[in-house]
Amino acid sequence: MNDVRVTPWHDDSLPAPPPELLAGMKARRPGGELIGIDRVLLRSFPLAEGWNGLLGRVRAEFDLDLEYRELIMLRVAVLNRADFEWGVHHPAYLQAGGTEEKSEALKGYATESGLFNEEERALIALTDQSTQHVDVDPGVINELNRLFGEAKTVEAVATVAAYNMVSRFLVALAI
């Protein structure tokens, strides 16, 4: 975090965040330790509170399998050159059931790889189109609906959108 473009919040920074905000952010992190993005978010308490709520729900409350959500997060990180995001989500993807081989394939032309199943290929197509072009072909959405149903399709699209927000924040502020 030496090159971060704003001064990260530190434990002795004033003003201090509301205790419940700090506790909620720490509760989302392994070992209760704040990471770089958390310390930058704490420069704006309203932003940190909203971010923690939204991303906490995406990470922990969606019905779409965590492995699929983490696959989306990794692909967004690759497409947007968000190395910090990759570093956070790569271990989580492996822990959720992803493989190192698939992780490496996500760095290239993933949909051309024979490694991914039908569901993963559809999620990668969604992620690529939404991240690179914003518009998503209706056929991709139809395929997701067929494979996952509407609720999980909405969650997949929301995961792509949320982690594009994350990656753009990380890259813009050099986190």
Domain residues of the chain, as ranges?
A: 19-60, 66-172
What is the pLDDT at residue 1?
55
Give residue-wise pLDDT tens across range 25-75. 999 998 999 999 999 999 999 999 999 999 999 999 999 999 999 999 999
Which two tokens mark 53?
Answer: 């709520």
Residue 86 has pLDDT above 90, yes or no: yes
Taking alpha carbons only, the member of 75, 28, 55, 79 closest to residue 166 is 55
Supply the DSSP symbol for 30: G
pTM attached to this predicted model: 0.94
CA–centroid distance for 158 within its chain: 10
- Chain position carrying tokens 């729900």: 57
66-172 classified as CATH 1.20.1290.10: yes
Q: Return the ∠ at Cα 34 (arms to 29 and 37), rounded to 5°.
A: 100
What is the pLDDT at residue 109?
75
The answer to whether 28 touches 56, Cβ cutoff 8 Å, is yes
Question: Residue 173 half-sphere exposure, CB side, CA atoms within 13 Å?
Answer: 19
Which one is predicted more confidently, 135 or 3? 135
pLDDT class for 108, splitting at 50, 70, 90? confident
Distance, in Å, from the CA atom of 151 to the CA atom of 23, rounded to the nearest integer, reads 30
Give residue-wise pLDDT tens across range 129-173. 999 999 999 999 999 999 999 999 999 999 999 999 999 999 999
Burial class of residue 112, CB neighbours in 10 A (0-12, 13-18, 19+): exposed
